[in-house]
């Protein structure tokens, strides 16, 4: 059990650092939407679909590797709390159009990205 927790911890740390770097480089006061959070959430959804699809088809994906990548890395890389905070800020400022595109675009594209990842994993 300790080994699995350590793998999740390490994967989550790596994912969080990468999320921070991407968000810092893409989020800006000059943009209306938080593109960094949007990017990491969609990429993380795609990656999660790929990982789970490949794990279902290939034996080299051990349960520990799935924990490290899917639960740890993807869990640390994507962020629902930032997504919720940014949507709240858009609503508070009265920017309903960007709220609509960001909130619903993130949800729909995130789900589609998981499906795409699962589909792409079948091509290997």
| Binding-site annotation: residue ranges | 75, 78
Residue 123 neighbours by CB under 8 Å, 6+ apart: none
Give dist(CA 64, CA 5) in Å, integer. Answer: 10
If residue 65 lies in a helix (H) or strand (E), which one and from where to where?
helix 63-66
Residue 88 · residue 21 · CB < 8 Å: no
Binding residues for Na(+): 75, 78
The CA distance from 73 to 80, in Å, is 14
- Token pair belonging to 98: 């960007």
């Amino acid at each position: 059990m300790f080994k699995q927790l350590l793998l999740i911890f390490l994967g989550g740390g790596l994912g969080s650092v990468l999320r921070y770097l991407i968000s810092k480089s893409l989020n800006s006061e000059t943009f209306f939407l938080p593109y960094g959070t949007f990017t990491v959430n969609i990429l993380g959804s795609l990656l999660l679909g790929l990982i789970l699809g490949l794990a279902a088809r290939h034996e080299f994906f051990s349960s520990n590797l799935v924990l490290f990548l899917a639960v740890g890395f993807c869990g640390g890389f994507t962020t629902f709390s930032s997504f919720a905070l940014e949507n709240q800020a858009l609503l508070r400022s009265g920017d309903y159009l960007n709220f609509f595109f960001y909130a619903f675009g993130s949800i729909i594209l995130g789900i589609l990205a998981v499906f795409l990842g699962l589909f792409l994993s079948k091509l290997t």
